[in-house]
Amino acid sequence: MDTYQIFKIILGLIVSAFIVIFIVIFISNYGGLQTDTQKAKILSLFDKTATNVLLYGNDANFTEFKRMDYSAITFDPISETIITGSVSRKLTEPIFLYPGKTLYIHRGEADLGWWKFYFVEALPDTSIIFNVMDGDAWEQVIDIVTEMPSTTGETIKTRFGLCDGSTLQEDFCNDELCERDYFLQAIYGNEGMTFSRCRETILGEKYRLVFVSDSCTGINEGICIESSPDGVGYIYIDGNQHVYKDVADIIAMIVGYIKSDHFGVYGENLYTLKNEIFRERALFASQVLSSRAKILSSEMTINQCKQLFETLGEKLDEISNILSDEDYYKDIDSAIQFKQLSEEAGRTHREIVNMGCDYPI
């Protein structure tokens, strides 16, 4: 073998290695880019589907997450983004997502009397078990369940059941847990009935356990709602205390539940998302509606309506003041004050409607 042959072999090896490495790098970058593009498109499609549900109130199925690793989807409450790998999407609407292969998307609402806050729940197959230990709390349970999805006729199910001590009452709808409307019928007339504390060990991981009691002391599992007749109270998740003032606070916790990752407990993160967006939107709505009440007041020819619009404007200004504090929702007194003022504003608006000077919200 002469020097030329050896030179040819070495040069051939170098050139081949160079070409192979170059192609491998290019293909891996290109492949990675394609995968990320697909993930970004799926997240964008989810956001659009959920926003459509939010705008129109028509429920929808979402099955695109099965084309990616949905278990890698997580939520960052600081930047309000859903993240999967290197792809993220900022949520601009109150969308409570619990990742799953297939999801059922439903719109719920929190009626403040002067304004309605809409939110979206995106849930895979879910079973929620209530343990009602306060006989006066059934109405609160009804309020929560009413804003959750009715999945009759759908393939993705949200079901409800009751737990009493060591008995899981899951057989009162054809031997299985009930869907929303049947559950509401089944618990109708339960007022005053109290159940003993659920032994959570009888429940598997597939159930979400929600305690409703006048005191959550000593309950460190699942979610515990301290019942309150005025709709403002404490809710505990993973042993941490938070304030609730409407049904959306509670549903955010139930949807996220106790699943946790490096961003924290999912239920708490969704609760934070809800309250950040709620504060921003409610503040804006109160400012717009207060100014509206004032300009309509100046145009009214009926004195009673004029005065009622003025009162409504003042109430909404007070609500704006409370909402100006970013942390108002963490303080029970501010939450109570907000709730009371909202009820007063709602009452005033209903009077205006009854007088025929405005339309209902």
Partner 1 sequence: MKGQMELMEYLFLTVFVILIIIVLMFFITGWQVTQSGIERTKEVSDEVTFLMKKFSTMDYFVKEDGVFDDAKLTVLSSMENVCEELRPILGSNWFATITVFDESGSIKVCTESNYPDCNHWSFCKKENRDFVSRKLPVNIYRNTNRIGDSIFAKNDIGVLEVGFYEI
d(CA 168, CA 130): 10
Q: Tell me: does residue 22 bind partner 1 (CB under 8 A).
A: yes
β-pair partners for 83 = 74, 88
Q: Work out whether 71 is an interface residue with partner 1 (CB under 8 A).
A: no
120, 223, 247, 285: which one binds partner 1 (CB under 8 A): 285
- Please tell me whether residue 23 binds partner 1 under the rule CB under 8 A: yes
d(CA 141, CA 120): 19
36 vs 90: CA distance, rounded Å? 16
Which of 139, 288, 340, 355 binds partner 1 (CB under 8 A)? It is 288
Which residue, 128 or 293, has its beta carbon nearer to partner 1?
293
Q: Is 19 one of the binding residues for partner 1 (CB under 8 A)?
A: yes
Closest CB to partner 1 among residues 53, 209: 53
Who's near 130: CB < 8 A, 6+ residues apart?
141, 160, 161, 162, 163, 210, 212
Please, what is the Cα angle at 347 between 344 and 351, to 5 degrees?
140
For position 358 contacting partner 1 by CB under 8 A, the verdict is yes
Pairwise CA distance, residues 48 & 214, whole Å: 40
The residue within the footprint of partner 1, chosen from 89, 197, 199, 281 (CB under 8 A), is 281
Q: Scan residues 106-145 and list those touching partner 1 (CB under 8 A).
A: 115-116
| Residue 8 or 67 having the CB closest to partner 1 | 8
Q: Is 15 in the site for partner 1 (CB under 8 A)?
A: yes
Which of 10, 24, 55, 78 forms a contact with partner 1 (CB under 8 A)? 55
We find the least distance from the C-beta atom of residue 332 to partner 1, in angstroms, to be 27
Q: Shortest distance, CB of residue 94 to partner 1, whole angstroms?
A: 11
Q: Which is nearer to partner 1, 38 or 102 (CB)?
A: 38
Dist CA 68 CA 32 (whole Å): 13
Helices (H) and strands (E) in the chain, counts: 7, 17
Contact (CB, 8 A) for 17 and 65: no
Q: Which is nearer to partner 1, 228 or 290 (CB)?
A: 290
Instruction: Note the helical H segments in the chain.
Output: 3-56, 138-146, 180-187, 247-256, 266-299, 303-323, 332-354
Q: Is 9 in the site for partner 1 (CB under 8 A)?
A: no
Rg from Cα positions in the chain? 26
- Of 244-273, binders to partner 1 (CB under 8 A) are none
- Residue 249 to residues 85, 117, 246, 266, Cα–Cα distance (Å): 28, 11, 6, 13
Please pick, from the candidates 225, 300, 319, 322, the single residue that binds partner 1 as defined by CB under 8 A: 300
Residues that bind partner 1 (CB under 8 A): 4, 7-8, 11, 15, 19, 22-23, 26, 30, 48, 51-52, 55-56, 92, 115-116, 280-281, 284-285, 288-289, 291-292, 295-296, 299-301, 358-359, 361
